Amino acid sequence: MNAERKVAVVTGGGTGIGRATCIRLAQTGCDVALIYSRSAEQADQTMHDVVQLGRQAMAIRADVSDKAQVNAAFEQVILQWGQLNYLVNNAAITRQLPFNDLDLVTDEIWDVLLSVNLKGSFNCSHAAAPHLRKQAGSAIVNVGSIAGETGFGSSLPYAVSKAAVHGLTRSLARALAPSIRVNCIAPGAVDTRWWVGHEDKMRQISGTLPLERISTPEDIAEAICFLLTAPSLTGQVIKAENGQTL
């Protein structure tokens, strides 16, 4: 991946897959703006690590479900660096719920998961699109989930929200072609803080994995960077799940 003089925005960039993606993009030559909502200390550390790799970095606090905050964040990126080449819509939340207990699925849970996971990805894509169109080879990668394919995950609303992200990917790919490619990575189980204390549930959901391993955030970051620079791919949902759905 040759990303010399390129600028990327990564939402949820302070921790987990987002952090790993920021580091990988910096290693390939990107300046990186990471958007975070609560993990200020981790965002500062990620920003520091990007700078240590010789690239410029900024950390911007914003709620991706709030259109005004998103627009302000992207304006800050353009004011600082004057261009945008890549967007990684990684910010997401979940609620750990017993999957078959529908009584626990409240309106509040639906609202917050759809607002962040789905609306947040749209808000950021909308704000980024005018700037991405100005750069050849620009791309968006949405971070979905294998739960969006199987319908089974940390909770029912989470699985549905990620299925919607997969649908958003295909629709945006049509809407933004030919100037911007849009793809989605759908990870299976990944060793992140989301599953701390819920390891047994993670193994139950994943089942028997042919590759006999759980993905690392760095695994998914590598796949994201591939999708950002794959010129023939758009509208695709690529599964990275160690053979879970074979």
Q: Is 36 a catalytic residue?
A: no
Greatest alpha-carbon pair distance for the chain in Å reads 51
Cis (ω within 30 of 0) for the bond into 187? no
CA atoms lying within 13 Å on the CB side of residue 94: 23
Write out the two tokens for 54. 């010789």
Cβ(169)–Cβ(145) below 8 Å: no
Pairwise CA distance, residues 113 & 108, whole Å: 9
| From 36, 158, 194, 195, the catalytic residue | 158
N-terminal to C-terminal alpha carbon distance within the chain: 29
Tally Cβ neighbours within 10 Å of residue 2: 9
The residues annotated with a catalytic role in the active site are 158
